[in-house]
A and B are shown apart, each in its own frame.
Chain A
Amino acid sequence: MINKEALTVVYVDLERLEVSKKNHLDYFSYIGGVGLAYKILEDNFERDPVILAIGPFSGIYPYISKTAICFLHNDTVKEYYIGGKLATSLKFAGVDAVVFLGHSKQKVNINISLDEYLVGGEETDFSLHPESTTLNVGEDKITIDDYFSVSGNLVYRKFVEKGIENIHIIGDSSVEIFDRNGYDEAYEDLMEMIDKIDVTPSTFSSCSGCPVGCEFSNKGEIGTSSYLSHCLVSCSFADKIYTDIATVYRCLSVLGYSYTHEHLEFVEGEIKEVRENIYEKIADSKL
Chain B
Amino acid sequence: MNKILKVTNEKACIGCDLCVLLSSILVDNKLSINKSPIDVKRVGKGYKVSIDPGVHINSDKIVNICPTGVFSIEQDDK
Contact = CB atoms under 8 A, between A and B. Distances in A.
A208 B17 contact: yes
B17 A88 contact: yes
A interface bracket (residues with beta carbon within 8 Å of B):
20 to 34
A177 interface: yes
A67 interface: no
Nearest to A211: B67
Contacts of B3: none
A88 B16 CA distance: 11
Given A210-B16, A211-B16, A147 B31 contact: no
Interface residues of B, number: 23
Nearest to A213: B14
Contact of A176 (B30, B34, B67, B68): B30
Contacts of B28: 174
A89 interface: yes
Contacts of B32: 92, 173-175
Contacts of B25: 177
A191 B33 contact: no
B18 A209 contact: yes
B16 A208 contact: yes
A174 B17 contact: no
18 contacts: A60-B31, A85-B15, A88-B17, A88-B21, A89-B33, A92-B34, A131-B34, A170-B34, A172-B34, A175-B32, A177-B30, A203-B14, A206-B16, A207-B16, A208-B17, A211-B16, A211-B67, A212-B16
For the complex of A and B, list the 10 residue pairs with the smallest distance between their C-beta atoms, beginning with the closest: A211-B67, A174-B30, A213-B14, A174-B32, A206-B16, A175-B31, A206-B14, A208-B17, A131-B34, A172-B34
